[in-house]
């Protein structure tokens, strides 16, 4: 895909991060982006969002929640194009 877009040479790698939170409340309150987005939701929708998030991110025996996220990093360059004459 990246070479089709005109990049060369193309290098890629996967980056994985893991975060651990003390408990669900720690996770929920850790992001200001979540707070901003949630502020626009109805109370019932906030409760539904919390319940779904809780179900997808189970806690360990100590109540901690750990999750991982991945991203693909791509590095490439656009080859030099031929010089165009000055107008």
The domain of 38 spans 20-77
Q: Is residue 86 part of a domain?
A: no
Q: Is residue 60 part of a domain?
A: yes
pLDDT in tens, the chain (87 residues): 888 888 888 999 999 999 999 999 898 888 756 777 888 889 899 899 889 988 998 899 999 999 899 999 999 988 875 555 555
Q: Is residue 52 part of a domain?
A: yes
Q: Is residue 3 part of a domain?
A: no
Q: Is residue 87 part of a domain?
A: no
- Whole-angstrom CA distances from 74 to 7, 16, 17, 63, 70 are 10, 14, 17, 36, 13
Distance CA 15, CA 70 (A): 6
The number of folded domains in the chain is: 1
Q: Is residue 83 part of a domain?
A: no
Instruction: Output the pTM of the full model.
Output: 0.60
Q: Is residue 70 part of a domain?
A: yes
Q: Is residue 7 part of a domain?
A: no
């Amino acid at each position: 895909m990246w070479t089709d877009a005109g990049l060369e040479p193309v290098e890629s790698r996967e980056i994985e991060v893991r975060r651990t939170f003390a408990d669900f409340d720690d996770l929920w309150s850790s992001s200001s982006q979540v707070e901003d987005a949630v502020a626009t939701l109805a109370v019932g929708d906030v409760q539904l969002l919390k319940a779904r998030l809780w179900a997808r991110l189970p806690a360990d025996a100590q109540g901690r929640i750990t999750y991982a996220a991945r991203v693909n990093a791509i590095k490439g360059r656009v080859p030099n194009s031929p010089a165009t004459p000055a107008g």
